[in-house]
Chains A and B, each alone.
Chain A
Amino acid sequence: MLADPQGRSILWRELRASHDTVRRLFSLDHKVIGLQYAITSACFLLIGFGLMMLMRWQLAYPMQPIPFIGRWFGPTTAPGGVMLPEFYNQLGAMHGTIMIFLGVVPLSVGGFGNYLVPLQIGAGDMAFPRLNMLSYWIYLVAGLVMLSSFAVPGGAPNSGWTSYPPLADIASMGQTFWLAGMILLITSSLLGSINIIVTILQLRAPGLTFMRLPFFVWTQLVTAFLLLLAFPPLESASLMQLMDRIGGTSFFLPSGLFVGNRPLAATGGGNPLLWQHLFWFLAHPEVYVLILPAMGIVAEILANSIRKPLWGYRLMVYSAIFIGFMSFLVWSHHMFLTGMGTGMSAFFQTTTMIISIPSVVILTALLLSLYGGSIRFTTASLFALAFLPMFGIGGLTGLPLGLAASDIHLHDTYYVIGHFHYIVAPGTIFALFAGVYYWFPKLTGRFLDERLGTIHFWGSLVCMNLIFMPMFIEGLAGMNRRMYDGGLFYPHNQGLQKWNVLQGWSAWTLGLVQIVFLLNLVVSVRRGRMASDNPWDATTLEWATATPPPHGNFAVAPIVYRGAYEYSVPGAARDFIPQNEPGNGGLPAGRGAQPQIS
């Protein structure tokens, strides 16, 4: 091997030279890792969105060649630009998987959680920086494994994001990639969630008692517990499906299967419902993983832009914990039609109705918070405000699905698609957008452009509603989901085709609107209006340090004297009192805050 006079290899010297880049790439700083998470997951969101725009073409104009880019597809996906059903199913499964597992969760937990939790609790970093880095890299590999499945024979996984066996057991090779990716991803999120829980419990600044935590931190805590406890059963299920696919076992294959009128070579004796139970045991808590951090972001931004404390903070915290707990007890409401008896269905219907109550409580608290406020309409607060009715629609349409009798007609129709997209798209995605507009000045020292932001907001709001509102109409009329031809094969769907066309155009317009956003990001990083350390006059600790926060976060370890939302305190000099401001901000005696160092 080549060596320099000191006997170190040239390679080593080269490596030393690139050391800085490597160090930056493999940083242990939670802010860098948070950004890596955010950028990666934003890319996945865009990919997931891209797949969706393709699907919407096929739904709007079934069997017509995809314009412009149709030629790029091969004979196995879209010969002559006309999408094959196999390919449609791949796009659907990958859209769901990417959006949920590689997009929204890593962005809200890995990105926002990683970046903000240590700052908001006044800590120097996460409790286990090395695990934190590892969790990002495993996530990246998992994502690449999933994406690379598009290139294998048979293409990407095509059995839906739910991967129900036996279909998934006998599906093409892509499904194996899905399983491998899933196992990696679960490992990554496990490391991440342990880290977040330990950080929140152990590294809170002196005086930051639990009831003084920003609501966002609470939602991250509950979310981390959900990830910690709900994901492992899917890991074991994925392992078993992997065994079925490559080890010849029959965990999920009953005896006597015939595929294409030929007996399937498998021992049998398994149970397809076993998978569904394990999957939904994860996937229901998972949906609250999608919504809780979003609620946290919205709460932060609302409190700041209405300039008053959140109404019923304690109630919100208890509700979030209760949601977390209950979310382990409702999973079978996705399986009402698998042949469930009265007792079991009564149990799961009841738990489902019960779990809707804490969501109602949180929404009510956020809505009532507006009362008496002094509302500022920044782009961030527009997105946060719009979250409320949008989540309201999504949540309320969960009710007819949660009642087994009305679910009979609605199950697996576009009604379900409409239900959860109202929650995850104009709900969670809006909250994430709000978070980007709100914290961008902290990250970069510059504001995003408000004028472009307003275009982005109204464009997204209108387009999303035009996409998702007609889904309820389609669903009630009996149009099924996962239909390659948009349901046209069925006479009863013929009259609904006009909605598909509208949805298609809205989806592509939505894509254009996102370009405005991306442009805003790129331009504002360099040329945006400068922001001070605390540009929104906010109270929580992330604003109590320099912009952007230095390595180690705080020059002096902060001490916390009060709750997270002391806005417009009567008698105080300013309309906000930062959590770390000693004294009582000019309050009458007795109302001031004790540091409560514990």
Chain B
Amino acid sequence: MSAIPYTFERRPDTGVNNVKLGVWLFLASEVMFFGGLFSAYFMLRAGATSWPHGPDVLSLPLGSINTVVLLTASAVFTVAVRAAQAGRQERIRRLLAFSMLLCLAFLGIKSLEYAREIAAGLVPRTSTFFALYYTLTAVHALHVIAGIILSLWLWTTSPPAWRAAPARVVNRLEAAAMYWYFVDAIWLIIVLLMYVA
């Protein structure tokens, strides 16, 4: 008795497999984590005497471009999942690579924004608005970096894993996709709260 059952096969009575359930739980905790940060946003904003208008101090164009880039990256990732589900293993790595590139582009643009803001003297200690802006976006960027590492891991392990059990690879990709959608969703909220409102 040693192999752990249900890592990627569904357990009939619970209807999920271990990896997916694990990712769901992880995302639940992430919701609480960002919930903490967002509640800070609302509490500080409610108590603030003045609050800058997002587009005046941040670059909405760059933010919008970045939104498109990030969403495209997840879309490409979704295509990779579809390819895996359709059994087209040869396409997986190419699509993963493309998705990773887009994520790198996202980080690049984000750094550009940071550079501009810092050059303009807008740093975390400038105001609670910027404290929140830098904290939220940096934490989000860390999530993007973690996602890139995850994709890289999938990129390197998928060929041998595919040979052993394609279903395992499909499951991993599906689980990773859930993570990416979460990262997208957080970004959209950040854009809404910081860049737009």
Contact = CB atoms under 8 A, between A and B. Distances in A.
Contact of A198 (B2, B18, B40): B18
B93 to A, nearest CB: 24
Interface string A111-132: 0000000000001110111000
Contact of B33 (A128, A233, A266): A233
Interface in A225-239: 228-237, 239
21 contacts: A124-B1, A125-B4, A194-B29, A197-B21, A198-B18, A232-B29, A232-B30, A232-B36, A233-B35, A233-B39, A236-B40, A237-B36, A240-B131, A243-B135, A249-B128, A251-B44, A269-B44, A269-B48, A269-B128, A552-B2, A556-B1
Given A195-B22, A236-B34, 20 more contacts: A124-B1, A193-B25, A203-B4, A228-B32, A232-B33, A233-B39, A234-B36, A240-B37, A247-B124, A247-B134, A248-B124, A249-B128, A269-B48, A269-B128, A274-B40, A274-B44, A277-B43, A551-B2, A552-B2, A556-B1
Interface string A503-531: 00000000000000000000000000000
Contacts of A198: 18, 21-22, 25
A-B complex: 8 closest residue pairs judged by Cβ atoms: A236-B36, A248-B125, A233-B36, A249-B131, A232-B33, A232-B32, A552-B2, A269-B128
Interface in A392-449: none
Interface of A: 123-125, 127-129, 190, 193-195, 197-198, 201-203, 228-237, 239-240, 243, 247-251, 266-267, 269-271, 274, 277-278, 281, 551-557, 598
A278 B21 contact: no
A239 B139 contact: yes
Contacts of A194: 22, 25-26, 29
Most buried by A among B34, B35, B126: B35
Contacts of A125: 2, 4
Interface of B: 1-7, 11-14, 16-18, 21-22, 25-26, 28-30, 32-37, 39-40, 43-44, 47-49, 123-128, 131, 134-135, 139
B1 A202 contact: no
B18 A250 contact: no
A239 B135 contact: yes
A250 B131 contact: yes
B125 A127 contact: no
A248 B39 CA distance: 20
A290 B66 CA distance: 44
Most buried by B among A127, A556, A598: A127
Given A228-B25, A248-B125, A555-B1, A271 B135 contact: no
B36 A278 contact: yes
Contacts of A129: 4
B-side interface mostly: helix
B94 to A, nearest CB: 28
Given A124-B3, A236-B37, A553-B1, A228 B139 contact: no
Contacts of A281: 36
A127 B32 contact: no
Contact of A251 (B2, B5, B14, B40): B40
Contact of A249 (B5, B30, B47, B125): B125
B191 to A, nearest CB: 19
Contacts, number: 140
Contacts of B47: 269, 271
B14 A201 contact: yes
A221 to B, nearest CB: 12
Contacts of B5: 202-203
Nearest to A210: B13
A205 to B, nearest CB: 10
A536 to B, nearest CB: 24
A337 B126 CA distance: 32
A245 to B, nearest CB: 12
Contacts of A197: 21, 25
Most buried by B among A236, A278, A281: A236
B180 to A, nearest CB: 19
Contacts of B16: 202
Contact of B21 (A201, A229, A236): A201
A251 B37 CA distance: 11
A468 to B, nearest CB: 33
Contacts of A193: 25
Contacts of A240: 37, 40, 131, 135
Contacts of B22: 127-128, 194-195, 198
Most buried by B among A235, A266, A553: A235
A243 B40 CA distance: 13
A410 B17 CA distance: 50
Contacts of A123: 4
Given A240-B40, A248-B125, A554 B1 contact: yes
B47 to A, nearest CB: 5
B29 to A, nearest CB: 5
A124 B5 CA distance: 9
A127 B4 contact: yes
Contacts of A553: 1
A267 B36 contact: no
